[in-house]
Chains A and B, each alone.
Chain A
Amino acid sequence: GNSVTQMEGPVTLSEEAFLTINCTYTATGYPSLFWYVQYPGEGLQLLLKATKADDKGSNKGFEATYRKETTSFHLEKGSVQVSDSAVYFCALRGRNAGGTSYGKLTFGQGTILTVHP
């Protein structure tokens, strides 16, 4: 079955530091890949996505590239801010060779990011 593995957290950084959160996946077919973010007291929000190999998703200074050869979708940001403190979830949605998308999302365990001033 499909699975997603994220780096263990929590991650604590100083403001303006470089961020990497690793995510690797196991899936049959050609999944779509996502990063969701959960701010305190709020629901999961889509941060970025990529639907095919070598696609780069980007949003709010965050980037992730769909690497099929390494089955990875690592999240990066060049300079984090205090407001980026949140829980980050990597997820995939499966798709078969015929392109049919299966609706359910499979999530990683989440990585807590804390950014200090």
Chain B
Amino acid sequence: EPEVTQTPSHQVTQMGQEVILRCVPISNHLYFYWYRQILGQKVEFLVSFYNNEISEKSEIFDDQFSVERPDGSNFTLKIRSTKLEDSAMYFCASSQLRLAGGPRNTQYFGPGTRLTVL
């Protein structure tokens, strides 16, 4: 069964450093998402991406964050200058576009990348 993959599984970085989290969505999916979960808190939506542009973003997704689909398979989340409070589990998800339009189909999640900022 196709699945969403994420690398690395765990990333440790120093405060102020840039990190890039990588995701490979399911191959025929067209909508891509990033979520994060700070330890002990809710899973929170960060951003959705379709047709090479951001379709929706939350207030968490400020100028320090960016997303990119650099090729036909990868979807990345970049944090330019990490802060301690960016420590969290980051989940990538993807969904297939239906003919009727709109991301109504199931979102399939990857296993997550645990980011630790020291």
Interface residues in chain A, defined as those with a beta carbon under 8 Å from any beta carbon in chain B: 32, 36, 41-46, 49, 89, 91, 100-110
In contact, B55 and A107 (Cβ under 8 angstroms):
no
Identify which of A32, A44, A100, A108 contacts B91 (C-beta below 8 A).
A44
CA distance A101 to B103 in the complex (A): 7
Identify which of A32, A44, A49 contacts B109 (C-beta below 8 A).
A44
Identify which of B4, B55, B56, B102 contacts A100 (C-beta below 8 A).
B102
Considering residues B6, B43, B56, B102, which has the most beta carbons from chain A within 10 angstroms of its beta carbon? B43
The reply to whether the CB of B25 lies closer than 8 angstroms to some CB of chain A is no
Min distance, Cβ A50 to any Cβ of chain B, angstroms? 13
Question: Which residue of chain A is the closest to B57 with respect to CB atoms?
Answer: A104
Which residues of chain A have C-beta atoms less than 8 A from B103's C-beta?
A: 101, 103
In contact, B91 and A109 (Cβ under 8 angstroms):
no
**Chain B contact residue count (CB 8 A cutoff):** 27
By secondary structure, the A interface counts as strand
In contact, A101 and B43 (Cβ under 8 angstroms):
no
Question: Which residue of chain B is the closest to A106 with respect to CB atoms?
Answer: B45
In contact, B56 and A110 (Cβ under 8 angstroms):
no
CA distance A91 to B35 in the complex (A): 13
In contact, B45 and A101 (Cβ under 8 angstroms):
no
In contact, B102 and A43 (Cβ under 8 angstroms):
no
In contact, A43 and B111 (Cβ under 8 angstroms):
yes
Which residues of chain B have C-beta atoms less than 8 A from A103's C-beta?
A: 31, 33, 48, 55-56, 95, 102-103, 107
